[in-house]
């Protein structure tokens, strides 16, 4: 009887472990922040990375750029609009740019699980180098952001 009880307890523990692994995969959010400060410009970029099983699902980027010169502000806005216009008809990729109090706020949201990767790569073939087996490894994107000066938490 005692052996049966021990066996049932072990089976119960194994079932719980398997349930946790299969039905509650490793998922969460990492936030990376980068600052660029110069005499004429201040840029604060925040990357909100949602992941599951150590693969990126979605990245929301919020970039706030403040300029002392209104001409630089307009030029920077044109650069952003030109860059993001390439992606405007791509589903699961969105960008919004507004100007508020001499600050450009650019918000980009990319759902990497649903985006058409072929179209995404056609727009810029360098996008392909983020991926491994059709997914972006969390550590890879964190390393890229950290190498550009971002701090990730």
Per-state percent for the chain, helix, strand, coil, to nearest 5: 40, 40, 20
Mind listing the domains of the chain with CATH numbers?
Answer: 26-152 (3.30.1830.10)
Structure token pair of residue 148: 């550009």
pLDDT in tens, the chain (153 residues): 676 656 556 555 665 655 555 555 689 999 999 999 988 899 999 999 999 999 999 999 999 999 988 899 999 999 999 999 999 999 999 999 999 988 999 999 999 999 999 999 999 999 999 999 999 999 999 999 999 999 999
| Tokens at 80, concatenated | 């952003």
Residue 108: strand pairing partners: 61, 95
pLDDT at residue 77, rounded to an integer: 95
Sign (positive or negative) of CA dihedral 143, 144, 145, 149 = positive
Backbone conformation region of residue 20, classed left if phi is above 0, alpha if psi is from -120 to 50, else beta: alpha
State which H helix or E strand residue 86 sits in: none
**How many of the other CB atoms lie within 10 Å of CB of 56?**
23
Residue 90 pLDDT = 97
Q: Are 150 and 47 in contact (CB under 8 A)?
A: yes
């Amino acid at each position: 009887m005692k052996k049966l009880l021990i066996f049932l307890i072990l089976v119960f523990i194994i079932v719980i472990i398997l349930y946790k692994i299969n039905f509650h995969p490793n998922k969460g959010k990492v936030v990376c922040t980068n600052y660029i400060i110069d005499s004429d410009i201040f840029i604060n970029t925040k990357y909100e990375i949602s992941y599951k099983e150590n693969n990126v699902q979605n990245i929301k980027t919020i970039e706030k750029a403040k300029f002392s010169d209104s001409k630089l502000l307009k030029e920077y806005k044109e650069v952003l609009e030109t860059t993001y216009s390439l992606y405007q008809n791509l589903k699961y990729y969105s960008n919004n740019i507004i100007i508020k109090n001499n600050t450009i706020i650019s918000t980009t949201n990319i759902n990497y699980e649903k985006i058409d990767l072929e179209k995404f790569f056609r727009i810029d073939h360098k996008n392909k180098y983020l991926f491994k087996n059709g997914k972006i490894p969390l550590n890879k994107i964190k390393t890229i952001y950290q190498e550009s000066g971002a701090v990730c938490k």
